[in-house]
Chain A
């Protein structure tokens, strides 16, 4: 423990790991993703080989819907009220008003309080999300709603400076 102090070290458990990876924008397969999500949707095109002549799932990545303009993409959400932690699974809407009247354009996949940056953070899959970064959206909960701003899905060390140090 003491030896680690010099490097900002500390003990941690799996709950902490969940928060740490979300701060960095790392997905959990099965939480950020379901069967409809492709590597490109979560910004992980680098993981798909461009050299292999074939691999399991290659054909799926050539189907027309893969390039559809409204695909849901991984983004970060910052609640306007920094202490509000969203619930996972909440729907995100463009228009004001409560669901089901307002059309859902995506949903929250992860939401935590980040002790490191002292505010709530969330990951979400949003239609055309990468083009909406900076936009303000609503997250309705019953009659209430929270206002959120779309950000890139990296809340901490976005350039990887600390990771690669």
Chain B
């Protein structure tokens, strides 16, 4: 995997960004792995990364017929957020959101994480009712 630095960014900018190498490897598969992960999207890569980082399980293969993050991760809304409705799931999303904050540094790869606000429009009475419930579930009007 390419290591990014100021000089590599400058060098490639002058090369019109034509010379970047692919960010994944194509080694011959081994006979045996401790873990086989199917799908190199956000979940698959995340699982592989944290298996290695947190659990010391490094004999891992991630398989994909396409490219890294080329599924839902590559064509989502580009928004990640944790202000959902149910406490149980919101806590999980909140934890994930905090992981994103350090990912660019940890991976030496710009994951384009940029915290900002979100505006949602309610179009009718029912939307307003639903939105208010969401807002209060997330701690009240201060969250607006």
Contact = CB atoms under 8 A, between A and B. Distances in A.
Given A31-B129, A104-B87, A91 B137 contact: yes
Contact of A89 (B87, B132, B139, B142): B132
A87 interface: yes
Interface in B90-144: 126, 129-142
B132 A87 contact: yes
Contact of B140 (A30, A88, A103, A141): A141
Contacts of A89: 129-137
Contact of B136 (A30, A31, A91, A103): A91
B98 to A, nearest CB: 15
Contacts of B134: 89
Chain B interface residue bracket vs A? 10 to 19
A30 B133 CA distance: 12
A107 interface: yes
A122 B55 CA distance: 50
Interface in A57-100: 87-91, 98-100
A4 interface: no
A88 B129 contact: yes
Interface in A107-165: 107, 140-142
A114 to B, nearest CB: 19
A92 to B, nearest CB: 10
Nearest to B143: A100
Contacts of B136: 87, 89-91, 99, 107
Contacts of A142: 140-142
Contacts of A141: 140-141
B132 A30 contact: no
A17 to B, nearest CB: 14
Contacts of A140: 140
Residue of A30, A100, A104, A142 ringed by the most chain B CB atoms within 10 A:
A100
29 contacts: A30-B126, A31-B129, A87-B136, A88-B132, A88-B133, A89-B129, A89-B132, A89-B134, A89-B135, A89-B136, A89-B137, A90-B132, A90-B136, A91-B136, A91-B137, A98-B140, A99-B136, A99-B139, A100-B138, A100-B139, A103-B87, A104-B137, A107-B136, A140-B140, A141-B140, A141-B141, A142-B140, A142-B141, A142-B142
Interface of A: 30-31, 87-91, 98-100, 103-104, 107, 140-142
Given A91-B136, A99-B139, A141-B140, 7 more contacts: A30-B126, A87-B132, A89-B132, A89-B135, A90-B136, A98-B140, A104-B137
